[in-house]
Amino acid sequence: MIYLDNCATTKPDPEVLKTFHTVNEKYYFNPSSPHHKGLETNKLLEQARSQIRDILKLKNQSIIFTSGATESNNLLITGMARSKKPFGQTIITSHLEHPSALETVRALESEGFTVKYVEFKDGRLDLEHFKSLLNSDVTLVCLMHVNNVMGAILPITSIKEVLKNYPKVHFHVDCVQSFGKLELPVDAMDSFVLSGHKFNGLKGQGLLVFNQLKTITHTVFGGGQEYGFRSGTVNVANDVALSRAVRIAESERTELYSRTQHFKEQLEHAVQQLPGLYVNSLEEGVPHIVNIGFPGVKGEVIVNAFSKEDICVSTTSACSSKRAKFNEALNALHVPETVIAGSVRVSFDKYTTQSDINRFITVLQQIYREMKELIKDAV
Ligand code: PLP
């Protein structure tokens, strides 16, 4: 099997699995228990938190362990918007966001919030348009660092520069597809989220990093764990294993970048040799995501054709492919409608090899030959 759907999820690193197993076996105690075993377990948990703090080069920010980026986005966006409601009710976001941010923001519309969407020009966030959306009613800006469908990189530091003139605005960033691939602009973000299974950790591992913990409205009530922000018995083995995944991913980041950059160039070059096909992903996007457009053919048909050859790729994103008829992110980035329907995402991680890429290109050429007439008619 050749697995090229690493934006959907990645294969867990054996070291992460080992940590999870060992901690579960030896430290299964409740870290809130007052006895010595509870205290030891709690120490392990706090050690994991502080290791992550060091790796991410955090200053005063708090780290909250969650079940994933979906929960982190929900907790922050809902809690922050509600706590700032007396000061303003406008949220700025973009059509590129993951459903865990976009649908949360949209749910807030029914509570009376106004949602505005920043536009994109030539694949880049339009900063002038962003500035035009800002006014005294804006309290929350929710954007992502790297888009999960096209690999577009958003200018987080420049956005923060603009926001310096709007001190009551909280700037929340989804760093799910950038951590382990790019250096995170930690000082430019008021809060951000990570998801363990996107960088060879485990599913159900998430982080919310936040600089104003006390100012937010809680949405999960109970025993007051995770600074009262996320009640529920803490999954210590999961969180310690996440800290391991964070350390490994950061230590391998630069090497992974150059290796995947090489893969991306090869793949894009191969696509450019096949008349009618499009490279949707941007040259200045992240190297681990390549998006290919097959005009006139449905993305699902292409995914199935690769599946028959034991190659896993995906249409848009695993989360939106089951829901949306057409991809909102590709549309916001002005990909033509005929190409959107036939878009396929190929994504790499540290286990992707040169022979995976060679095989993918051979199968791509084969599928192209079979579908050439359909593609030609659509162009
Ligand atoms: N944000 C982005 C950009 C993603 O790609 C994903 C997962 O696809 C998520 C958030 C949700 O992450 P999780 O699966 O940890 O809830």
- Per DSSP, the residues of 38-53 read HHHHHHHHHHHHHHHH
Helix (H) or strand (E) holding 19: helix 14-26
Please give the distance, rounded to the nearest whole angstrom, from the Cα atom of residue 300 to the centre of ligand 1. Answer: 21
Q: How far is the CA of 175 from the centre of ligand 1 (A)?
A: 9
pLDDT of residue 185: 98
- Report the atom number in ligand 1 closest to the C-alpha of 70: 16
Residue whose Cα lies nearest atom 9 of ligand 1: it is 69
CA-closest residue to ligand 1 atom 12: 69
Q: How far is the CA of 146 from the centre of ligand 1 (A)?
A: 11
At 10 the pLDDT is 98
Which residue is closest in CA terms to ligand 1's atom 7?
8
pLDDT in tens, the chain (379 residues): 999 999 999 999 999 999 999 999 999 999 999 999 999 999 999 999 999 999 999 998 999 999 999 999 999 999 999 999 999 999 999 999 999 999 999 999 999 999 999 999 988 999 999 999 999 999 999 999 999 999 999 999 999 999 999 999 999 999 999 999 999 999 999 999 999 999 999 999 999 999 876 678 888 889 999 988 899 999 999 999 999 999 999 999 999 999 999 999 999 999 999 999 999 998 899 999 999 999 999 999 999 999 999 999 999 755 555 454 568 899 999 998 889 999 999 999 999 999 999 999 999 999 999 998 888 677 6
Residues 69/194, Cβ–Cβ less than 8 Å: yes
177: Cβ below 6 Å to ligand 1?
yes
Residue 77: name the closest of 172, 195, 143, 145 by CA.
172
- Sequence-ordered strand ranges (E) for 90-179: 90-94, 114-118, 120-121, 124-125, 138-144, 170-174
**Closest ligand 1 atom, CA of 317?**
8
The reply to whether ligand 1 has any atom less than 6 angstroms from the CB of 67 is no
201 C-beta closer than 6 A to ligand 1: no
How far out from the chain centre does Cα 361 lie?
A: 26
Sequence-separated (6 or more) residues with CB below 8 Å from residue 31:
38, 41, 42, 44, 45, 234, 236
Cα 74 to averaged position of ligand 1 atoms, centre (Å): 11
DSSP state of 252: H
CB of 5 sitting under 6 A from ligand 1: no
Decide whether any atom of ligand 1 lies within 6 Å of the 31 Cβ.
no
pLDDT on residue 327: 82
Please compute, for residue 168, the number of CA atoms within 13 A of its CA located in the half-sphere on the CB side: 16
Q: Is 165 exposed, middle or buried (0-12, 13-18, 19+ CB in 10 A)?
A: exposed
Question: Which amino acid belongs to residue 146?
Answer: V
Would you say the CB of residue 189 lies under 6 angstroms from ligand 1?
no
Nearest to 163 by CA among 182, 184, 188: 188
The dihedral sign for the CA sequence 49, 54, 55, 59: positive
pLDDT the model gives residue 217: 82
Residue 140 has what pLDDT?
98
Q: Does ligand 1 have an atom closer than 6 angstroms to the CB of 174?
A: yes
Residue 316 in contact with ligand 1 by CB distance below 6 A: no
195 CA → ligand 1 middle, Å: 6
- 19 CA distance to ligand 1 middle (Å): 23
Strands annotated E in 124-267: 124-125, 138-144, 170-174, 191-195, 206-210
CA distance 32 to 233: 8
Confidence at residue 182, expressed as pLDDT on a 0 to 100 scale = 98
Rounded Cα distance, 144 and 148, in Å: 9
Atom index in ligand 1 nearest the CA of residue 67 equals 15
Question: Is 142 among the catalytic positions?
Answer: no
Question: Rounded to an integer, what is the distance from CA 352 to the centroid of its chain?
Answer: 19
